[in-house]
């Protein structure tokens, strides 16, 4: 089979053309010159692999099921966004109440899961490694894990979304020798995450900041982890397998680990006066500066402005305004020197730090939010499935023959 990239009226689609004239109309188009053999698209950049109703990035504007991210970030609770991504519409009052109730019900983990964390060599295990393992482990406690009935699939989605918050927070506490904290029925999803993590009720501005972060990270079209999830379930594997695969993909520093590395950088800069020399040295040494630029957004990440605003608010409330000032100075410097604009990872780092969250938990938080989007894409893949099976261009040795081991 040959991999072709169809370019017509600015629309790009990926087609697999069989040797046996399976797609004669397309062969006719080739003869007319409307098709060109595509070069290998490294990282699949610019390639459309599927159609989706979950989210879009058009002209540097992110939307969830047709709603601008600006609108949702300013008005929506994370639970509303979860429902929106899974059903392509916002919930009514009763539907939202039912979803919140079920999320609260499923947040409490089986006692064996809490004990499971104690078996880790916790000083050495990264929280994303723990999350990857524990997401797989909780499938053992779901008696309907392999049941593909539609009602069970949606119930499983809620179960996973609820429990992933508890997995991240419980591990964080267990590794510090603290008892896990059960959720409170009086708090929403964002509030419960902070409560289960820290063991104290969050302030209103903390809940607002964290809710906004969850909304902004919920989905992002066909990023690496989302594509991984869809690939995994395209074989009709179960939802837990898809989420485990996605967590593994998000763990990499080029995807989910960026905000953790942003905070490491900010920790090295002690004052606003040190910014210029610090960044100049990084640029001179050709070191990568995390939190800037984006493969898709050329005019700036539309999510960044909201977290910049929350970063200013929460650093002020927690007496860490200089951290925000340093961030702004670095962002201005990078725009001036490299014409790169801060992305969502850059300001989310200061928000999470100001919420007194350990830096190595930043990526698990990303996973907690993005699980909503992963599940949405998994549900969509199930609805219109074709197993993912691209091709590769072989560049290795040819015409070789086996030699007995004595002759090698």
pLDDT tens, 364-383?
999 999 999 999 999 999 99
The CATH code of the domain that includes 119 is 1.10.580.10
pLDDT of residue 294: 66
Q: Give the pLDDT of residue 395.
A: 93
- Identify the band that residue 298 occupies on the pLDDT scale cut at 50, 70 and 90: low
The reply to whether 184 and 309 lie within a common domain is no
The overall pTM is greater than 0.75: yes
> Is 126 contained in some domain?
yes
Give tens-digit pLDDT for 57-88: 888 789 999 999 999 999 999 999 999 999 99
Residues 300 and 374 in one domain: no
Q: Measure Cα distances from 321 to 260, 310, 313, 350, 351 in Å.
A: 19, 12, 9, 10, 11
Q: Hey, which residues are catalytic here?
A: 294, 345
Residues 390-397 have a mean pLDDT of 92
Q: Where are the beta strands (DSSP E) in 29-99?
A: 35-37, 55-58, 61-64, 67-68
Using 50, 70 and 90 to split pLDDT, how confident is the model at 36? very low
Mean model confidence pLDDT for the chain: 87
pLDDT tens-digit readout, 310-341: 899 999 988 999 999 999 999 999 988 888 88
Position 400 in a domain: no
CB-CB neighbours of 66 under 10 Å: 11
Q: Is residue 192 packed enough to be buried (19+ CB in 10 Å), middle (13-18) or exposed (0-12)?
A: buried
The Cα 177–Cα 222 span in angstroms is: 38
CA-to-CA distance for 329 and 321, rounded, in angstroms?
A: 13
Which residue stretches of 140-288 are H helix? 150-174, 189-198, 204-217, 224-233, 239-250, 258-268, 275-284
Residue 356 has pLDDT above 50, yes or no: yes
199 & 267 share domain: no
Q: Are residues 31 and 6 in the same domain?
A: yes
Q: Determine phi and psi for 290, rounding to 5 degrees.
A: -75, 150
Would the pLDDT of 148 be above 80?
no
Question: Are 325 and 232 in a shared domain?
Answer: no
Please tell me the distance from the alpha carbon of residue 14 to that of residue 40, in angstroms, as a whole number. 12
* Position 391 in a domain: no
Q: Is residue 171 part of a domain?
A: yes
Q: For residue 1, give the DSSP letter.
A: -
Looking at residue 121, its pLDDT comes to 59
CA separation, residue 11 to residues 48, 273, 397 (Å): 9, 48, 37
**Cα(31)–Cα(84) distance, integer angstroms:** 44
CATH number, residue 306: 1.10.230.10
Percent of the chain residues past pLDDT 90, beyond the cut? 62
Residue 58 lies in a domain: no
Predicted local confidence at residue 59, as pLDDT: 82
Shared domain for 94 and 206, answered yes or no, is yes
Clarify whether residues 211 and 324 are in a common domain.
no
**2: part of which helix (H) or strand (E)?**
strand 2-8
Asked whether residue 37 falls in the same domain as residue 95, the answer is no
Number of domains in the chain: 3
Instruction: Tell whether 80 and 207 lie within a shared domain.
Output: yes
- Domain range for 330 is 258-354
- Residues near 393 by Cβ (< 8 Å), separated by ≥ 6? 40
Strand order in the sheet with 35-37: 11-17, 2-8, 35-37
CA atoms within 13 A on the CB side of 192: 28
| pLDDT for 199 beyond 80 | yes
pLDDT classification of 270: cutoffs 50, 70, 90: confident
Residue 345 banded pLDDT, cuts 50, 70, 90: confident
Of the listed ranges 69-73, 190-194, 259-263, 352-356, the one predicted with least confidence: 259-263
pLDDT confidence tier of residue 295, bands split at 50, 70 and 90:
low
Whole-number pLDDT of residue 38:
55
Q: Are residues 74 and 90 in the same domain?
A: yes
Q: 13: part of which helix (H) or strand (E)? A: strand 11-17
For residues 104, 371, 193 and 81, what is the CA-based torsion angle, rounded to 10 degrees?
A: -70
């Amino acid at each position: 089979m040959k991999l072709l990239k169809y370019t017509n009226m600015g629309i790009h689609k990926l087609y697999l053309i069989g040797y046996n004239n399976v797609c004669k109309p397309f062969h006719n188009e080739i003869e007319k010159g409307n098709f060109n053999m595509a070069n290998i698209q490294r990282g699949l950049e610019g390639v459309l692999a599927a159609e989706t109703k979950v989210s879009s990035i058009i002209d540097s504007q992110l939307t969830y099921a047709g709603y601008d991210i600006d609108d949702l970030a300013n008005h929506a609770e994370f639970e509303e966004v979860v429902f929106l991504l899974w059903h392509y519409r916002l919930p009514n009052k009763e539907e939202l109440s039912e979803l919140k109730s079920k999320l609260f019900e499923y947040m409490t983990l089986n006692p064996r899961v809490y004990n499971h964390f104690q078996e880790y060599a916790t000083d050495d295990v990264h929280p994303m490694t723990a999350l990857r393992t524990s997401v797989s482990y909780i499938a053992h406690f779901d008696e309907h894990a392999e049941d593909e009935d539609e009602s069970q699939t949606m119930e499983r989605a809620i179960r996973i979304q609820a429990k992933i918050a508890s997995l991240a927070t419980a591990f964080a506490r267990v590794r510090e020798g603290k008892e896990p904290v059960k959720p409170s029925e009086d708090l929403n999803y964002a509030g419960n995450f902070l409560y289960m993590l820290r063991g104290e009720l969050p302030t209103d501005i903390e809940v607002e900041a964290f809710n906004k972060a969850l909304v902004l990270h919920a989905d992002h079209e066909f990023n690496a982890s989302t594509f991984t999830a869809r690939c995994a379930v395209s074989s009709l594997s179960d939802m837990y397998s898809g989420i485990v695969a996605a967590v593994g993909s998000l763990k990499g520093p080029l995807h989910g680990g960026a905000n953790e590395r942003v905070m490491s950088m900010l920790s090295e800069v002690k004052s606003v006066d040190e910014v210029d020399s610090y960044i100049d040295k990084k640029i001179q040494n050709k070191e990568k500066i995390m939190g800037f630029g984006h493969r898709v957004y050329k005019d700036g990440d539309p999510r960044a402005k909201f977290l910049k605003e929350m970063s200013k608010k929460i650093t002020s409330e927690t007496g860490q305004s200089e951290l925000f000032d340093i961030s702004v100075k670095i962002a201005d410097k990078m725009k001036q020197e490299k014409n790169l604009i801060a992305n969502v990872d850059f300001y989310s780092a200061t928000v999470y730090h100001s919420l007194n969250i350990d830096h190595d938990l930043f990526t698990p938080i990303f996973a907690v939010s993005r699980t909503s989007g992963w599940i949405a894409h998994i549900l969509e893949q199930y609805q219109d499935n074709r197993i993912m099976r691209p091709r590769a261009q072989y560049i290795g040795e040819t015409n070789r023959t086996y030699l007995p081991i004595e002759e090698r």
